[in-house]
Structure 1
Amino acid sequence: MMTRTLAAIVKKEAKELDWPQSVQVVFGRQKTSAKLKTAAAATDWLKPNEALILVQLHRPLDVHWGDRFKVFCRPGGQEVTNGRVIDPSPEIKNKELVVTPLLRLLSGQREAMILALCRRRGVRGVRGKEIVEFSGLPPENLLPAAEKMELKGLVRILGFQPLFMISTESLTWLAAQVEAFLRRFHRLHPEAVGVEVEKIKKRFRLPSLVLSLALARLKREKKIIAYEQGLVSLASHEIPLGPEEKKILKALEEMCYRGELRRVSLEEIRRQFRLSSRTLEKLLSHLMVKRRIVQSANGFYLHSLWLEEVINRLRNLGKREFSVSEFKALTGLSRKYAIPLLELLDEMGITRRKGSLREIL
């Protein structure tokens, strides 16, 4: 990559280094004048005969991680030292090299360098072309190294062509941040079922793949619940209900189990219980949060126990395939409700459409 500033490790003979005001640095066929400055921060990870320096080139050179170079006191003069580049794009503050733990990783081997770039990019992740630009490594060498690092639990590969990955350290941090965000949201909006995934994505400005990985981790750890409507909430979240609302909630659940919610509109239910649209939505959401009811794609509600009974009856049919007519007879549903329910079972992975029939998986 073209750069005028880089961090490098050089050999030193004396305890203290006193660099000439200007030196010549040579990278193979590339050379230019430069200024060298020893890092002020402590670097106990260096060998006794090594020093960490900031190199400020007079003109841009094409330099990569790991490139070796020589330093001369003047053009054609005596060699002062030699070293290798560990960061062709270092962080500078007040004209000093900022010494971070990432520099220690960058001073190591190839895997350590890739891990450092992943951590530097944080939750944005790093792409293969960025590693190639930084290191000059052949692109075909990156995937084997990344797969080895993933086996060690250091990174997660999000894409192979092109290569895209994130450090597990960044993923852990992101999961904690999302969890904290949900906690704040529930505190401010206790009656809401959850937060839209799209809102979380915008809040953290994340690639979809990265957010999906963080949410999958939280779900696997049973810290969050994901809903079909594209909402997520903390697993511990409960929508607050008053005594009267709890009575209505019980009646709604019983109606759902008996199938009455499929025969009457939500507007009729709202009028029957004298509820506002918002309160009815809150009560139905509460039942979904508790996994007591399930909402189908076309909007009608099913009791989870009733749905489980249907699934058990299907699996006890004694055959692998069935028709819509057989399903209607099995459930007592009209075609209006049988078809959406079959589509829901397809989504759940219970059945699969096979021509005019359904196959039990």
Structure 2
Amino acid sequence: MADAKTITVDQLFAIDGLLDAEEREIQQTVRKFAAERLRPHVADWFEAGTFPAREMAPELGSLGLLGMHLHGYGCAGTSATAYGLACMEMEAVDSGVRSMISVQGSLAMTAIYKYGSEEQKQQWLPGMAAGTTIGCFGLTEPDYGSNPGGMLTRAKRDGSDWILNGSKMWITNGSVADVAIVWAQTDDKVRGFIVPTDTPGFTSREMHKKLSLRASVTAELSFDDIRLPEDAMLPEARGLSGPLGCLTEARFGIIFGAIGAARDCLEAAIEYSQTREVFDKPLAGYQLTQAKIADMAVEVGKGQLLALHLGRLKDAGTLPPELVSVGKLNNTREAIKIARECRTILGANGITLEYPVLRHANNLESVLTYEGTAEVHQLVIGQALTGSNAFR
């Protein structure tokens, strides 16, 4: 009997029919760019523990990917769903590449866009959209991750200026950035500051020996009596709602991105199983292999449908933050399970950089916990359902 015609996971769930023409075009354009400019090099970047951010940022900017869901100031002004689909295609190549785009657009640029003055927007956003100016987002500290309200970084008034002291850790783009959005305690709650990285007293140290997100620049930032003018402060952000609002934007991209990594793992495992012979027939011809593939395809498809549903809600302006937690919790959790299961199909070959699955699995270890751990999102969802705050 002849083998049946094969289909992709997207075709299994009829995903294409859920997208409009512009969304399909953006997704295909980003997929093509990623295949031609990123995928041939990403294994080498991962092995070397580097990413050519300075080289790639202008290319990403010219493609319209930086701050693409923002409007004006040189930004593309796409829908949130289109931005999510771009994140999916970027993370299908590598989580580190998607992180660079998320930090630039959803964190640093969004902070200025949502909370900055018109002068601040005009000064910084066009260059950041073009990729000629790279930004980073300084919230996490060595001892304050899930509980940023305890941060030690502090800004004090000195006449009309601010004096900034403290440190931040695990900062994507930190050592290559031209500008940092730094969150600090003040006498008037947590406030955000736009800090050019050439300001005296600003130092960055790139972090090495990472086992995850190796194709990404990660740094520790230090602030030693940095003097900032009064207009360095973001005027519309007061309290933790400012940085947490930016994180909600970035988490939205992760919902799409993580499932892109899972899809890439599954595609690699399917292709491998079709050509790898075990006991005189392809690995794909065994029931246990097909059971694994079927189960993973169902979870990838469900994750895609969830992401698209949340994208439609966001575009309609009706996406509550607890649903972002649902998406981040589910899609990162399922993605890392899929990456690990795909590795079992590839056997020993799965631990090499010739195939993407263990690289994705290592990256997803970080994606699972950054911008809100699984446990934090469980508590967000639990509070929404029960009305009880269990964080303390």
Structure with more contact order per residue of length (Cα contacts < 8 Å, sep ≥ 6):
2
User: TM-score, structure 2 length as denominator?
Assistant: 0.19
User: TM-score, structure 1 length as denominator?
Assistant: 0.20
Q: Larger % of strand: which? A: 1
Q: Larger % of helix: which? A: 2
